[in-house]
């Protein structure tokens, strides 16, 4: 039975149903994927309304925000994902782990497990019907009188020089020539065109980096990805990356085979190359729509736009006009004349001038609003990209704007979120955390990004990982390629909660900096079986990491200074590497180690500093060791997880 047929049978939206299946560990590529009879029977049973038995245990946790994600609810309540999803289904609520629901609905879902949620947050009473009408920043899953068909949001992706920018420009120019609504405003970051009375919203920041950066913040913005492939060149490395990024986001792909005006154009070769990556053209018996176009000659553009409308109709994109507005920040900057400015995409509700809102830990009031033509407007409806003024600080792309009823409510929620943002930093996936979750009975998917030195090694790793028996843990390689780990690899790992596996390759500086900031786990290996062994241990709940001390620097004590408040400060010189405050240090005197402890204080002149590098002087205070002497050698270490080699 096909996915789309089963979705229709149980009365659910195909897109959300595919996402639900993915969260339940059932791999599907599109609505045309055929499901095993056993799976069909299990899904039908789930939707018949079976409710799990009361587990008899009493538990509670505190949550001081008006909404909570399903993933967070599972983690805090310790309820198994399958049980929680089953309860949600019996109440007619189709959600996935990234869905955000009101706190009172969350209480209702876990009540049968004797779990209570304590909160001091301002709550707006909701109904299950409200929650069904709004999934993740405004996407909805059922029909209602207050719902409208919203414009689809399209992102164009592909390899450099394959015609992404030219295609965007051609669509703009076509729209203006035909005298239809829409406009060209380069700085707003998104624009709308109209075809046969239907509006289409295009993100003006094409490319998988921007696409995934939004996902990394939890914002699923795009409804359709147009993959541009040059007919004379075929697929290239960035084409493959774009496919993997779109697939990880579970977004339908429409292939535009560009540059058909060139004499060496070979669309059949393109289709063959794409089939290797599980994108099979409709005329080859597959389900992926592939259209020949020439952005330069403006050929095939009309057919492309019409196909976008058709794909949008299949997804049945709905949004509410009456709920408090929610929007996603697409771009932002600081203007000298106007202050913080943000381009937002309305996901649900109607945003109006004068509305009070919250973005992350800040609040504000819409003082002015401009559409993609640069015109002042009083209100904006779902699917519209608009530029707004009245923000207290520059928000990050992917942040969610939520309208509140009054300024007092916006202030209080902003304060609560600021505290939550400081205490609940990004929780990255690692083999250790996965193992711990499995031991606690909380199954989590394991996504991998694999980079290797050569294709032979890469193919062997991918084949070996795919053969692993993972039980109830859903394991998926979301991207694999040769070469060093780059920033795009880490960004994809952030967005997909993935672990990066490196086999005989390095990590470039930008990727390392991003990984450190976002706590992304990057693991290095030189032997394939060690990769498989670590994954096996992790999915069995048996993985425990080994740690080692790595030398980072050497200091020579040259002069001692005594101060009544801090004790002895060792005037020192960094002879090798670097020294950081709170590092582990071993003091050596006359060739013998005499003390091991932490560096309590590090100074440059009179200022406290975090780090001093080779060739500079510094002042060092050791923790609980006042007996430093001149010519003592201090070797500095950091503790890190042991890499396999």
- 351-393 residue pLDDT tens: 999 999 998 888 899 999 998 888 899 999 999 999 999 998 8
Q: What is the mean pLDDT of the segment spanning 540-557? A: 77
Structure confidence at residue 374 (pLDDT): 84
Record the pTM.
0.57
Q: What is the mean pLDDT of the segment spanning 259-282? A: 93
Is the residue at 518 inside a domain? yes
Which CATH number do you get for residue 215?
Answer: 3.40.50.300
Regarding whether 312 and 185 lie in a shared domain, the answer is yes
Q: What are phi and psi of 265, to 5 degrees?
A: -60, 135
Condensed to tens digits (0 to 9), the pLDDT of residues 601-623 reads 898 888 888 899 999 999 999 88
Which CATH number do you get for residue 389?
Answer: 2.40.30.10
Asked if the model's pLDDT at residue 239 lies above 70, the reply is yes
Structure confidence at residue 519 (pLDDT): 80
Beta strands 253-258 and 224-230, pairing class: parallel
Condensed to tens digits (0 to 9), the pLDDT of residues 195-215 reads 878 899 998 655 566 666 676
Structure confidence at residue 97 (pLDDT): 66
Is the residue at 62 inside a domain? yes
User: What DSSP letter does each residue of 9-77 carry, written as one string?
Assistant: HHT--HHHHHHHHHHTT---SSTTPBPPHHHHHHHHHHTTT--PPP----EEEE--SSEEEHHHHHHHH
Structure confidence at residue 436 (pLDDT): 67
Lookup: tokens for 317? 């994109």
Range of the structural domain that residue 340 is part of:
322-422
Regarding whether 299 and 203 lie in a shared domain, the answer is yes
Regarding whether 563 and 536 lie in a shared domain, the answer is no
Q: What is the mean pLDDT of the segment spanning 84-105? A: 73
Q: How confident is the model at residue 315 (pLDDT cuts 50, 70, 90)?
A: confident
Asked if the model's pLDDT at residue 425 lies above 60, the reply is no
Is the residue at 349 inside a domain? yes
H helix or E strand, kind and range, residue 169: helix 164-177
Regarding whether 109 and 53 lie in a shared domain, the answer is yes
Regarding whether 448 and 364 lie in a shared domain, the answer is no
Structure confidence at residue 218 (pLDDT): 53
Q: How confident is the model at residue 67 (pLDDT cuts 50, 70, 90)?
A: confident
Regarding whether 540 and 552 lie in a shared domain, the answer is no
Is the residue at 138 inside a domain? no
Give CA–CA dist 628/619, Å, rounded. Answer: 12
Query: What's the gap between Cα 201 and its chain centre?
Result: 21
Q: Is 40 exposed, middle or buried (0-12, 13-18, 19+ CB in 10 A)?
A: middle
What's the residue count for the chain?
Answer: 645
Give CA–CA dist 327/150, Å, rounded. Answer: 13
Condensed to tens digits (0 to 9), the pLDDT of residues 493-531 reads 887 888 999 999 988 888 888 888 778 888 899 888 889
Regarding whether 311 and 166 lie in a shared domain, the answer is yes
624 vs 207, more confident:
624
Is the residue at 635 inside a domain? yes
Phi-psi region of 211 (alpha: psi -120 to 50; beta: other; left: phi over 0): alpha
Asked if the model's pLDDT at residue 127 lies above 90, the reply is no
Is the residue at 141 inside a domain? no
Tell me how many domains the chain contains. Answer: 5
Q: Using an 8 Å Cβ cutoff, are 35 and 1 in contact?
A: yes
Q: Which residue has the tokens 């239809």?
A: 180
Regarding whether 535 and 471 lie in a shared domain, the answer is yes
- Judged by average pLDDT, the poorest of 209-223, 299-313, 546-560 is 209-223
Inter-CA distances, 176 with 104, 151, 234, Å: 48, 18, 31
Q: How confident is the model at residue 449 (pLDDT cuts 50, 70, 90)?
A: very high
418 vs 527, more confident:
527
Q: Which residue has the tokens 């789930």?
A: 46
Query: What's the gap between Cα 484 and its chain centre?
Result: 21
Regarding whether 607 and 563 lie in a shared domain, the answer is yes
Inter-CA distances, 223 with 40, 314, 354, Å: 26, 11, 29
- Judged by average pLDDT, the poorest of 15-24, 136-145, 501-510 is 136-145
Asked if the model's pLDDT at residue 144 lies above 50, the reply is no
- Three-state secondary-structure class, residue 381: coil
Is the residue at 33 inside a domain? yes
Percent of the chain scored above 90 by pLDDT?
25
Structure confidence at residue 635 (pLDDT): 93
Asked if the model's pLDDT at residue 26 lies above 80, the reply is no
Regarding whether 458 and 439 lie in a shared domain, the answer is yes
Condensed to tens digits (0 to 9), the pLDDT of residues 217-229 reads 555 788 999 999 9
Structure confidence at residue 274 (pLDDT): 94
Percent of the chain scored above 70 by pLDDT?
79
Last residue in a domain, options 523, 545, 567: 545
Asked if the model's pLDDT at residue 132 lies above 60, the reply is no
Q: What is the mean pLDDT of the segment spanning 185-201? A: 76
Regarding whether 129 and 217 lie in a shared domain, the answer is no
User: What DSSP letter does each residue of 396-449 carry, written as one string?
Assistant: PTTPEEEEESSHHHHHHHHHHHHHHHHHS------HHHHHHHHHTT----EEEE
Q: What is the mean pLDDT of the segment spanning 394-413? A: 87
Structure confidence at residue 424 (pLDDT): 45
Is the residue at 411 inside a domain? yes
Structure confidence at residue 567 (pLDDT): 77
Q: What is the mean pLDDT of the segment spanning 90-110? A: 75
Q: Give the chain's end-to-end CA distance (angstroms, integer).
A: 47
Mean of per-residue pLDDT scores for the chain: 80
Inter-CA distances, 356 with 74, 390, 406, 417, 511, Å: 31, 9, 6, 16, 37
Last residue in a domain, options 274, 292, 316: 316
Q: Using an 8 Å Cβ cutoff, are 1 and 28 in contact?
A: no
Last residue in a domain, options 272, 292, 316: 316
- Three-state secondary-structure class, residue 315: helix
Structure confidence at residue 217 (pLDDT): 57
| Nearest alpha-carbon partner for 308 in 385, 267, 238, 255 | 255
Regarding whether 484 and 412 lie in a shared domain, the answer is no
- Judged by average pLDDT, the poorest of 101-105, 165-169, 536-540, 559-563 is 536-540
Which CATH number do you get for residue 503?
Answer: 3.40.50.10050
Q: What is the mean pLDDT of the segment spanning 462-473? A: 80
Structure confidence at residue 50 (pLDDT): 46
Asked if the model's pLDDT at residue 558 lies above 70, the reply is yes
């Amino acid at each position: 039975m096909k996915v789309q047929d089963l979705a229709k049978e149980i009365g659910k939206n195909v897109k959300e149903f595919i996402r639900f299946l993915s969260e339940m560990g059932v791999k599907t590529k599109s609505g045309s994927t055929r499901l095993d009879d056993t799976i069909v029977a299990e899904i039908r049973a789930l939707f018949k309304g079976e409710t799990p038995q009361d587990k008899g245990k009493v538990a509670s946790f505190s949550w001081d925000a008006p909404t909570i994600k399903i993933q967070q609810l599972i983690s805090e309540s310790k309820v198994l994902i399958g049980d929680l999803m089953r309860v949600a289904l019996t109440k007619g609520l189709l959600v996935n782990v990234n869905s955000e629901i009101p706190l009172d609905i969350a209480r209702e879902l876990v009540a049968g497990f004797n779990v209570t949620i304590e909160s001091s947050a301002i709550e707006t009473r909701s109904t299950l019907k409200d929650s069904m009408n709004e999934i993740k920043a405004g996407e909805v899953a059922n029909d209602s009188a207050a719902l409208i068909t919203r414009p689809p949001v399209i992102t164009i992706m592909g390899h450099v020089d394959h015609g992404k920018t030219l295609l965007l420009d051609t669509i703009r120019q076509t729209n203006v020539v035909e005298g239809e609504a829409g406009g060209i405003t380069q700085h707003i970051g998104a624009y709308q065109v109209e075809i046969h009375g239907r509006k289409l919203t295009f993100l003006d920041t094409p490319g998988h980096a921007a696409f995934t950066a939004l996902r990394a913040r939890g914002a699923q913005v795009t409804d359709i990805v147009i993959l541009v492939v040059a007919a004379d060149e075929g697929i290239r490395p960035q084409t493959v990356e774009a496919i993997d990024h779109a697939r990880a986001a579970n977004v339908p792909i429409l292939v535009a085979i560009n540059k058909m005006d060139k004499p060496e154009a070979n669309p059949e070769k393109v289709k063959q190359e794409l089939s290797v990556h599980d994108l099979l053209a409709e005329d080859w018996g597959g389900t992926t729509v592939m259209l020949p176009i020439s952005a330069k000659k403006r050929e095939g553009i009309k057919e492309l736009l019409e196909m976008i409308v058709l794909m949008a109709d299949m997804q049945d994109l709905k949004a509410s006009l009456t709920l408090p507005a929610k929007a996603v920040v697409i771009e932002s900057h600081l203007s000298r004349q106007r202050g913080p400015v943000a381009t937002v995409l309305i996901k649900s509700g109607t945003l109006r001038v004068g509305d009070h809102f919250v973005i992350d830990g800040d609040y504000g009031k819409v003082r002015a609003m401009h559409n993609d033509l640069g015109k002042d407007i009083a209100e904006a409806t779902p699917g519209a990209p608009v530029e707004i003024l009245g923000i207290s600080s520059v928000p990050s792309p992917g942040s969610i704007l939520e309208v509140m009823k009054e300024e007092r409510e916006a202030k209080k929620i902003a304060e609560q979120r600021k505290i939550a943002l400081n205490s609940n930093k990004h929780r990255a996936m690692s083999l250790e955390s996965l193992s711990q979750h499995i031991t606690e009975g909380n199954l989590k998917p394991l996504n991998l990004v694999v980079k290797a030195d050569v294709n032979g090694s890469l193919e062997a790793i991918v084949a070996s990982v795919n053969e692993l028996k993972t039980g109830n843990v859903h394991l998926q390689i979301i991207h694999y390629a040769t070469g060093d780990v780059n920033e795009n690899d880490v960004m994809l790992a952030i967005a997909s909660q993935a672990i990066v596996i490196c086999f005989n390759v390095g990590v470039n500086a930008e990727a390392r900096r991003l990984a450190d900031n976002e706590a992304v786990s990057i693991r290095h290996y030189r032997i394939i079986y060690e990769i498989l062994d670590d994954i096996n241990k992790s999915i069995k709940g048996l993985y425990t990491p080994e740690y080692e001390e790595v030398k980072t620097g050497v200091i020579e004590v040259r002069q001692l200074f005594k101060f009544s408040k801090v004790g002895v400060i060792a005037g020192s010189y960094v002879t090798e590497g670097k020294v950081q405050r709170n590092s582990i240090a071993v003091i050596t005197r006359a060739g013998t180690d005499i003390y091991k402890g932490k560096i309590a204080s590090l100074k440059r002149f009179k200022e406290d500093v975090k780090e001093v590098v080779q060739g500079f002087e510094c002042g060092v205070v050791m923790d609980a060791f006042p007996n430093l002497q001149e010519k003592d050698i201090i070797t500095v270490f950091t503790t890190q997880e042991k890499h396999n080699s």
